[in-house]
Structure 1
Amino acid sequence: MFGTYTGLQGNLFDQLNRLQRELDESFGLWPQAAELRAPGWGSWPPINIGATPERVDVYLFAPGLDPNELDINIQRNLLTIAGQRRIERAEDQRWYRTERHSGEFRRAVTLPEDADPDRVDASYRDGVLHVSVQRHESSQPRRITVS
């Protein structure tokens, strides 16, 4: 009954799904995450956070950025990373699908209470921003000798 419509390629429902995706992308909406651990809308670029007793490491995966245009701040244990990725596109070119994010972004990460905002290193290599925040030495475990 709802087979292939002669004016469209493929199944009519496939075309309606494609139209819905394109409308969502046009208005800045992203489809719902396919799995529980998948990042939700607005969580670009993807981020990994790891911690050791000495430091907290934040990895932001965003190829194509200009590292000189990144804005990295720490205020009251909140690490904020903001920037922009520009993708040049010809004005006369018509795009049918764009999956690479472009434009401004802002990510915020809550750091542990013992993070030291005065000891932060940041590097950008191969499309990965690595921000390393050392922990206060006073919070480090230390061995006490018995006399």
Structure 2
Amino acid sequence: MYRSLFPRDVFAEMDRLQRDLQQAFDLSPSIRGFARQGFPALNVGGTPTSIEIYAFAPGVDPATLEVSLERGLLSIAGERKSVLPPAEAKASVHINERFDGKFRRALSMPEDADPDGVQASLRDGVLHVTVKRRAAAQPRRIAVQ
């Protein structure tokens, strides 16, 4: 009797296929971000003096990253190389859920974002972008006399 090293269950394969198809056409948010164009996953927040963006991009070479702010649109672009063996190696890949290739994410910035006050750093696979707010737009306390 022949037994495969990786037994295949027809119903499990059908379930996987259904999830893959649903993910391909689903535009609702999930744990991995949006089904399409969801890499890198983002956290965006703010303080009275800045807008803080965290892009989770493990395995991305800092030399391939490009961060730009133009006309109120912050763009994060780059490329993550594949860690799979090349096709000529004739290796079998059983599961490949990691994204590789070129990516671009764009965020609309508020009116008080200062294009001259943008800083970006990459540490442990997390890109941290800080966009300063213009001083005129920051709240200030006015003394009553």
Which residue does the alignment assign to 2:76?
Answer: 81
Residue range with higher mean Cα deviation, 83-92 or 102-111: 83-92
Q: Distance in 1 between matches of 2:77 and 2:8?
A: 41
Q: Which amino acid aligns with 1:111?
A: M
Compute the displacement of 1:13 (Å). 2.2
1:124-139 alignment runs, 5 A limit = 124-139=122-137
Q: CA deviation at 1:82?
A: 0.2
Q: Which amino acid aligns with 1:40?
A: F
Give the SS at the match of 1:89.
Answer: coil
2:142 maps to what in 1?
144
Matches within 5 A, 1:1-147: 9=7, 11-18=9-16, 20=17, 30=24, 32=26, 37-38=29-30, 39-41=33-35, 42-91=37-86, 92=89, 93-146=91-144
Q: Supply the AA of the counterpart residue of 1:134.
A: K
Residues 129 and 116 from structure 1, CA distance in 2 versus in 1: closer, same or farther, beyond 3 angstroms?
same
Task: Extract unaligned runs of 5+ from structure 1.
Answer: 1-6
- TM-score, length-scaled by structure 1: 0.79
Paired with 1:146 and 1:22, the residues of 2 have a C-alpha distance of 62
Aligned residues: CA RMSD: 2.7
- Closer, same or farther: CA 22–139 of 1 in aligned 2, 3 Å: closer
Separation (CA, whole Å) in 1 of partners of 2:65 and 2:13: 40
Q: One-letter code of the match for 2:77?
A: A
Cα deviation, residue 9, structure 1: 4.2
Structure 2: tracts of 5 or more residues without a match: none
In structure 2, the CA distance between the partners of 1:17 and 1:31, relative to structure 1 (3 Å rule), is farther
1:52 deviation in Å?
Answer: 1.1
- 1:43 maps to a residue whose letter is G
Tell me which amino acid in the other structure corresponds to 1:95. V
Instruction: Report the 3-state secondary structure (helix = DSSP H, G, I; strand = E; otherwise coil) of the residue aligned with 2:14.
Output: helix
Q: Work out the percentage of aligned pairs sharing the same amino acid.
A: 40
* Residues 57 and 131 in structure 1, CA contact (< 8 A), matched pair in contact too: yes
Count how many residue pairs are aligned between Structure 1 and Structure 2: 135
One-letter code aligned to 1:99:
E
* AA at the equivalent of 2:57: A
